[in-house]
Chains A and B, each alone.
Chain A
Amino acid sequence: MKQHLITDIKTNKNILGCYFMTVQNLGKFAKQIYLKGRNEMEKTGNPIMKAHSSEVEPEMFRVLTPDGEIIETIDGKIDKSLMLKMYESMLLLRTFDRKSINLQRQGRIGTYAPFEGQEASQAGSALALAAGDWMFPTYRDHGAAIIHGQELYRVFLYWMAHFDGSICPEGKRLLPPSVPIATQMLHAVGTAWASKIKGEKNVSIAYFGDGATSEGDFHEALNFAGVYKTPTIFFCQNNGYAISVPFEKQSASKTISQRAAAYDIHGVRVDGNDIFAVWMTVKEAVERALKGEGPTLIEAITFRYGAHTTADNPNIYRDQDEISTFWRENRDPITRLRKYLNKEGHWNEEQEELVLKQFNELIDAHLKKAEGYPKSDPLEMFNHVYAEESWHLKEQKQELNQFLKKGGKK
């Protein structure tokens, strides 16, 4: 039925239609939705933000339209230097992401999880944090981690499967990417709780996706944070798909942010491709948290242009070209900020070229560092299992060492 719908929509040249598609929607219904969306787009110049779920786009907070227009006041909040920092951050992340995919294709790094399209969500949220705030990213949030202070070569090392890829800079509170979905949200509750107990002015932010909102830990985290009013920011990047499963199959909830109401915590739905809106939303959440007003659940609507990982083929589960093209052309986070900056005279082609050149050089330098980084010693696997090495690990380490010394091979 889904396939049928796509055909139906395609023959109607219904680009938007594919985002409204649900298994339940029949062609006729999809067409109605499409027309509704097109009308709205024609009316407001903004396409419905609907990559994801219900037919009627719920409200969301937006500051910068896709056309580069400011529709909320940013005075006293976002100045020129911050805007440029935001722009350059997104540019750096995109360059890094594309480079990483190439490196994976060349076999120089392992399986990689790209985030292109989500730069505003990741950079915007990370830029709103203080240096001492706790960050709990997932495997797709190295963009946020980089902005929060993770070094590029360490990110490369992580995807090269080097132990030292999970280490963060000294003094940072940046945890390694969480692989089990939603589990890290509870850690962010715990660290924030401890901050609160100790009277430290820090928040904890947990990153997760729309799929994570089905996990028990998501609910337990929101609930715990609500009960103890922890200074936690739950930052959900709703990119519409948990690998292949669209959000409408994930939940009957219209939005993710509405779940906040159930736990009586603050919830915000924000345009995740609008870095101004993301930054302002997170900033406000930080302020609320530090005032003792508790956690915030933020749902940032965004889209990953590429595959789930380099091992994934999105053509199997969505009309990849069409949907990606739509988002790139109509909703790209970098494009819209560039439009605004160009209009304001804050940015031009020469600057762009110069910065891109610098970024490429920077990334290459870090890649070189990562590739030249001392390889993991096999014996390193025995370290850090416990603070103090126990007898059995000592012996097993010795056993492997002896084996290697005698010329034993893996």
Chain B
Amino acid sequence: MMGKNLTMLQAITEALDQMLGNDDRVMILGEDIGVNGGVFRSTEGLYEKYGNDRVVDTPLAESGIIGSAIGLALNGMLPIVEIQFLAFIYPGFEQLVSHAARMRYRTRGQFGVPLVIRTPYGAGIRGPELHSESVETFFAHTPGLKVVAPSNPYDAKGLLISALEDPDPVIFWNRLNCIGLLRKKFPTKCTEYQSVKQKWSRRKRSDHFCMGAMLREALNATKKIEAEKGWKCEVVDLRTLYPLDRDTIVQSIKKTGRALIVHEAHKTAGLGAEIISIINDEALIYLKAPIKRVTGFDVPVPPFTIEDHYLPTVDRVKQGIVETISF
């Protein structure tokens, strides 16, 4: 382990850099990712290093990007697509769900689509309309796709590399307001990440699940709860959203008997509902309290002047914990 500090963004760039360097089949496609280095600068320096053919500024057409990336993947390349903001993925939705997700299935394993779609998501950066979405369920509802959402730089690098190594299409989310997140003692070699596939990191405390960047709110809330009430909470960071890591969910429930689920996506039919359902199937008799959800509301993400009220805040999470534990 090297003693290196990296932000989420740097971790992603480093992963991309290493992957481009290690394998000629890897190429990055996206809007403004070349000379400009990406609107979030996650490809900064890569264009200069690997050139126009490996780090490709595409026309502004998401279906075109994803569709042609499917073709590239069919013919032996390992494309990594950057979609600038999650809500811009919709034009490419058909390509993802009707083709990328189904190609292996339709051809009975003859043709696979080893494709990575990387896109930042979430509110909290004071973005304009449709720059703040969190709609993982669309994709987590699609057999054939995998969805991962790292919460920290370490996982981001590891999961991105794992995603590229995966023979199937993987959607990789990183939350917008986490790109500056720091982590110390950061390993620098790809090989150190091999084991992260489909696992979640787990903190040694009690009772709650969260996704992606909601980890921050979750940890802050549990810290405060512990200070104020002396209650210890276990926080489970759902790194792989589809397929879910059921065993970890169930283990945690068996230990604590309670759960609070935090995600910033809309509540109705959100992934939280699926997690509750898993608990219902597997660990009902361990439940000491109803499982609560602290999520984004069932409204379009509102303008940024009030978006903080849409998001699960530390206080909302705290309140959820109190209600769950004092049930």
Interface residues of A (CB under 8 A from B): 134, 163-164, 166-168, 173, 175-176, 178-180, 183-195, 197-198, 204, 216-217, 220-221, 223-224, 227, 383-388, 390-392
Apart from A216-B63, A384-B105, A387-B167: 12 A-B pairs, beta carbons within 8 A: A167-B110, A175-B111, A183-B95, A186-B95, A187-B74, A190-B74, A193-B75, A221-B67, A227-B58, A227-B59, A383-B109, A385-B144
Q: Determine if A189 and B71 form an interchain contact, defined as CB atoms under 8 angstroms apart.
A: yes
Contact residues in B for A383 (Cβ distance below 8 Å): 108-109
User: Per-residue CB proximity of B71-107 to A under 8 Å, as 1/0?
Assistant: 1111111010000000000010011001100001111
Q: Judging by beta carbons under 8 Å apart, are B108 and A187 in contact?
A: no
> In the complex, what's the smallest C-beta–C-beta distance from B289 to chain A, in angstroms?
26
Asked whether, in the complex, the Cβ of A198 is within 8 Å of the Cβ of B94, the reply is: no
Contact of B69 among A163, A183, A185, A190 (CB under 8 A): A190
Contacts of A180 in B (CB 8 A): 94, 98-99
Q: How far is the CB of B127 from chain A (nearest CB, A)?
A: 25
Instruction: Determine if B44 is an interface residue (Cβ-Cβ < 8 Å).
Output: no
Q: Which of B91, B107, B109 has most chain A Cβ within 10 Å?
A: B107
CB closest residue in chain B, given A189: B68
Known contacts A224-B68, A386-B168; decide if A187 and B246 are in contact (CB<8 Å).
no
Q: Let me know if B61 and A223 touch, CB within 8 A.
A: yes
Residues of B within 8 A of A204 (CB): 71
**CA A311 to CA B291, docked complex, whole Å:** 50
B30 sits at the interface (CB 8 A): no
Which residue among B109, B110, B246 has the maximum number of chain A CB atoms within 10 Å of its CB?
A: B110
CB closest chain-A residue, reference B27:
A197
Contacts A164-B108, A168-B110, A392-B243; A220 near B61 (Cβ below 8 A): yes
> Complex Cα distance A384/B113, Å?
12
State the 9 A-B residue pairs at the shortest beta-carbon distance, nearest first: A190-B71, A186-B67, A220-B64, A194-B75, A187-B71, A190-B68, A387-B167, A191-B75, A390-B243
Contacting pair B107 A194 (CB below 8 A): no
CB of B255 to closest CB in A, whole Å: 20
Q: Report chain A residues within 8 Å CB of B300.
A: none
Q: Do B104 and A190 touch (CB < 8 A)?
A: no
Are A191's CB and B74's CB within 8 A? Answer: yes
Q: In the complex, what's the smallest C-beta–C-beta distance from B144 to chain A, in angstroms?
A: 6
B-side contacts of A198, CB under 8 Å: 75-76
Contact A175 B107 (CB under 8 A): yes
Q: How many angstroms from the CA of A197 to the CA of B53 in the assembled complex?
A: 8
Count, A-B residue pairs, CB within 8 A: 138
Residues of B within 8 A of A194 (CB): 71-72, 74-77
A223-B99 contact given A163-B108, A197-B53, A387-B168, CB 8 Å threshold: no
Q: Which residues of A contact B91 (CB under 8 A)?
A: 216
Given A204-B71, A385-B104, A386-B104, do A186 and B243 touch, yes or no (CB 8 Å)? no
CB distance from A385 to the nearest CB of B (A): 5
Chain A CB count within 10 A is highest, among B72, B76, B167, for B72
A227 to B27, CA, bound (A): 17
Give the distance in Å from the alpha carbon of A168 to the alpha carbon of B111 in the complex. Answer: 10
Whole-angstrom distance between the alpha carbons of A408 and B79 in the complex?
44
Among residues of A, the one whose C-beta sits closest to the C-beta of B100 is: A187
Determine if B112 is an interface residue (Cβ-Cβ < 8 Å): yes
Q: Which residues on the A side are within 8 Å of B72 (C-beta)?
A: 190-191, 193-194
Interface magnitude class on chain B: 35 or more
Are B71 and A183 in contact, CB atoms less than 8 angstroms apart?
Answer: no
In the complex, the answer to whether B71 meets A167 with C-beta atoms within 8 Å is: no
25 A–B pairs (Cβ distance < 8 Å), ordered by A:
A166-B108, A167-B108, A175-B74, A186-B63, A186-B66, A186-B68, A186-B95, A187-B71, A187-B99, A190-B73, A190-B74, A191-B75, A193-B72, A194-B77, A197-B77, A217-B64, A217-B95, A383-B109, A385-B105, A385-B144, A387-B109, A387-B112, A391-B243, A391-B246, A392-B243
Contact between B104 and A384, CB atoms less than 8 A apart: yes
Query: What residue in chain A is nearest B111 (Cβ atoms)?
Result: A175
Closest B residue to A204 using CB positions: B71
Residues of A within 8 A of B66 (CB): 186
Give the complex CA separation of A387 and B244 in angstroms.
Answer: 17
* Cα A185 to Cα B91 with chains together (Å): 15
Contact indicator A191/B104 (Cβ below 8 Å): no
Chain B residues contacting A190 (CB-CB under 8 Å) are 67-75, 77, 79
Which one of A163, A167, A187, A198 has the greatest number of beta carbons of chain B within 10 Å? Answer: A187
A185 and chain B: residue at smallest CB distance: B67
| Nearest A residue (CB) for B71 | A190
A224 touches B75 (CB 8 A): no
B68 and A193 contacting across the interface, CB-CB below 8 Å: yes
Q: Which residues of B contact A185 (CB under 8 A)?
A: 67
Cβ contacts under 8 Å, A163 to chain B: 108
> Are the CB atoms of B107 and A166 closer together than 8 Å?
yes
Closest to B75 in A: A194
- Residue of A164, A175, A188, A388 with most chain B CB atoms under a 10 A cut-off: A175
A residues within 8 A CB of B79?
190
Chain A residues with CB below 8 A from B108, complex form: 163-164, 166-167, 383-384
Residue of B nearest to A186 (CB): B67
Query: Are B243 and A193 in contact, with the CB atoms below 8 A?
Result: no
Tell me if B143 is interfacial: C-beta within 8 Å of chain A.
yes
Most buried by B among A167, A197, A221: A197
B135 to chain A minimum Cβ distance, whole angstroms, is 21
Residues of chain B contacted by A187 (CB below 8 angstroms): 67-68, 70-71, 74, 99
Q: What CA separation (Å) do A384 and B112 show in the bound complex? A: 9
Nearest CB in chain A to that of B144: its residue: A385
Q: What mask results when residues 146 to 163 of chain B are scored 1 for a CB within 8 Å of chain A, else 0?
A: 100000000000000000
What is the distance, in angstroms, from B173's C-beta to the closest C-beta of chain A? 19
